Amino acid sequence: MKRRSGIRIMGGLLKLLAPLLHVMLLCITLGTLGYLCAIFINILAAHLLLGVTGESPWRLSFGGAAAVMILIAVARAGLRYAEQTCGHYIAFKLLAVIRDRVFGALRRLAPARLEGKGRGDLIAVITGDIELLEVFYAHTIAPVCIAIIVSLIMTLLIGSFHPLLGVLAAGCYVLVGVAVPLITAKMGRAYGMEARAKLGGLNNVFLESLRGIREVLQFGQGQKKEEEIREKTEKLNEVQGGIRRHEGAASAWSGALVMLLPLVMLGLVIRLQVGFSAAVMTTVMLAASFGPALALANLSAAMDSTLAAGERVLSLLEEEPETPDVVNGEKPDFAGAEVKNLSFSYDEEEVLHDLSAVFRPGEIVAVTGRSGSGKSTLLKLLMRFWRAPENTVKLSGLDVGRIDTLHLRTLESYMTQDTDLFNVSIRDNIRIGKQDATDEEVEEAARKASIHDFILTLPRGYDTKTGELGETLSGGERQRIGLARAFLHGAPLLLLDEPTSNLDSLNEGVILKALREEAQASGRTVVLVSHRASTLGVANRAYAIESGRLS
């Protein structure tokens, strides 16, 4: 992952804010007015005291001043509430937008770019990181703007007593609101990145252990996994402890500065001999106006994690898919497929070497080869999940890269080695193959896939939710549901990756018969990856991939 600077991360996050700019401006205005109210209460109090000694130019009665102060205090509370409401409104609106875009990005990147990513990492982005950005949108942008505006106004006000006092005030705000936060954020940023990475790693181990719980138990790996998780948790705790210590030190530093700086101001006013009343007023003004700058200092601690989260979310949004969707591409009817002199490698090592094969309409073509020889890779290239060199993979005589993606999906059905089921009814699980299929069509497809009779034995037949069955569906049953999907999809090219590997010969026989009928009756082309001699028997021709080559 490329690292970018904090400013660039914020720039990237701010771009997403554009549609809600007007709410943000309102939020900043409300916040600025709120802080000015808080400062003005102190100024009023100082005047009241100076009035007692006859030093204030304002003639204030105690009762009048108290009433105004109460009014301002109430206004301050109201303004603060309204500012917070605006901030959260923006944050949650934007989080919804970002979630949507992250999901869009995952869809774009799938499946090729997601193959190398741990699911734990992705879950950390989708849940934790996006949530953390709330801090940026609700509690960062507005405070920064408010701090700048309020500090500017106060610099001018204090400067009106003497320009040097104004310069000193500006210096104080920059020190508390910019220098300290920047230094502490820089020191703490690595912690933030590390904590997120460690959390992702921990999630990965958890998910892995849950998914592979059978293997863990079978091979007595329970204790080892437990230790691994404990070790990772301890490391995460260490990093998080570092963040907390860092936060503590940062707020101690800024707290001390806020105490000391008014003393410096007092020293300067005494030197400049601006008079008693001006001395009191400027010192009170400075002491009372650190609120917005201090908010930035406190924010810097949270910024570490927020920037790290922003970096990960933006990287995901900006990642280029392996095969971008082709819109407005060619939309040919299916007239056979072909690979020609196809060589392909995921990384450095070549998986397929100079492969050539044709798949004519109505043919069942078997592809065999030892495990790891590249059979699934060949199917993925035909699906255009990965990018093959130009003109090496063709459909209807056209390079797959030129065919409209949505159209390509209607031309091809792909069934992988494992079928994923969603927690909806069996009927809807099969219907994924064709959204508008009638119940009759769904049942017809289930019959061809030899799963209809089994479904009828379920408590609520086709309406049984897969969640109600827990993990009880057998590998073969899942596989047949996957096949029913592929049959229902009705694409002219069926790419089947070991479709009958988990089935007994009876069910396999039914399916192979259905495949033969599909090929003969509706002219479907079937590419069948399999090792089994029984499956190969149904094929018109067979290719064997030997060390990346066809024979």
Ligand X SMILES: Nc1ncnc2c1ncn2[C@@H]1O[C@H](COP(=O)(O)OP(=O)(O)OP(=O)(O)O)[C@@H](O)[C@H]1O
Tokens of 477: 């049953």
Query: Under a CB-based contact definition with an 8 Å cutoff, are residues 473 and 502 in contact?
Result: no
- 55/319 with CB nearer ligand X: 319
Minimum distance of Mg ion from residue 503's CB (angstroms): 17
Interaction of residue 334 with ligand X, rule CB under 6 A: no
Minimum distance of ligand X from residue 253's CB (angstroms): 48
Tokens of 450: 């030899």
Residues 6 or more apart whose Cβ sits within 8 Å of residue 474? 502
Choices 30-38, 371-379, 432-440, 453-461 (CB under 6 A): range interacting with ligand X: 371-379
Q: 374 is in the binding site of which of Mg ion, ligand X, none (Cβ under 5 to 8 A by kind)?
A: ligand X
Site for ligand X in 88-147 (CB under 6 A): 115
Interaction of residue 348 with ligand X, rule CB under 6 A: no
Can you count the helices (H) and strands (E) in the chain? 20, 10
Antiparallel, parallel or unpaired: β 398-399 and 549-550: unpaired
Kindly tell me which residue out of 189, 198, 375, 427 binds ligand X, with binding defined by CB under 6 A. Answer: 375
Interaction of residue 499 with ligand X, rule CB under 6 A: no
Give the phi and the psi of residue 491 in degrees, each rounded to 5.
Answer: -70, 150
CA–centroid distance for 263 within its chain:
48
- 76/113 with CB nearer ligand X: 113
CA–centroid distance for 370 within its chain:
37
Q: 492 is in the binding site of which of ligand X, Mg ion, none (Cβ under 5 to 8 A by kind)?
A: none
Query: Under a CB-based contact definition with an 8 Å cutoff, are residues 124 and 339 in contact?
Result: no
Minimum distance of ligand X from residue 380's CB (angstroms): 7
CA-to-CA dists, residue 500 to 474, 486, 495, 504, 512, angstroms: 13, 13, 13, 8, 9
- 212/291 with CB nearer ligand X: 212
Classify 473 as helix, strand or coil.
coil
Minimum distance of ligand X from residue 185's CB (angstroms): 37
Between CA 144 and CA 295 the distance in angstroms is 8
- 372/389 with CB nearer ligand X: 372
Residues in the chain: 551
Kindly tell me which residue out of 29, 209, 306, 373 binds ligand X, with binding defined by CB under 6 A. Answer: 373
Kindly tell me which residue out of 64, 222, 267, 372 binds ligand X, with binding defined by CB under 6 A. Answer: 372
Kindly tell me which residue out of 209, 283, 289, 377 binds ligand X, with binding defined by CB under 6 A. Answer: 377
- 376/425 with CB nearer ligand X: 376
Classify 385 as helix, strand or coil.
coil
- Closest listed residue to residue 394, CA positions, set 384, 406, 409, 407: 384
- Burial category of 89 from C-beta neighbours within 10 Å (exposed 0-12, middle 13-18, buried 19 and up): middle
Interaction of residue 376 with Mg ion, rule CB under 5 A: yes
Site for Mg ion in 34-63 (CB under 5 A): none
Kindly tell me which residue out of 6, 166, 374, 476 binds ligand X, with binding defined by CB under 6 A. Answer: 374
Minimum distance of ligand X from residue 498's CB (angstroms): 7
Interaction of residue 347 with ligand X, rule CB under 6 A: yes
Classify 100 as helix, strand or coil.
helix
Choices 95-103, 218-226, 334-342, 366-374 (CB under 6 A): range interacting with ligand X: 366-374
Between CA 405 and CA 8 the distance in angstroms is 33
Interaction of residue 384 with ligand X, rule CB under 6 A: no
Minimum distance of ligand X from residue 525's CB (angstroms): 20
Choices 46-54, 345-353, 355-363, 440-448 (CB under 6 A): range interacting with ligand X: 345-353
Give the phi and the psi of residue 444 in degrees, each rounded to 5.
Answer: -60, -45
Minimum distance of ligand X from residue 546's CB (angstroms): 11
Antiparallel, parallel or unpaired: β 393-395 and 364-369: unpaired
Residues 6 or more apart whose Cβ sits within 8 Å of residue 489? 413, 433, 434
Q: 351 is in the binding site of which of ligand X, Mg ion, none (Cβ under 5 to 8 A by kind)?
A: ligand X
Interaction of residue 376 with ligand X, rule CB under 6 A: yes
Applying CB under 6 A, the residues found at the interface with ligand X are 115, 346-347, 351, 369, 371-377
Applying CB under 5 A, the residues found at the interface with Mg ion are 376
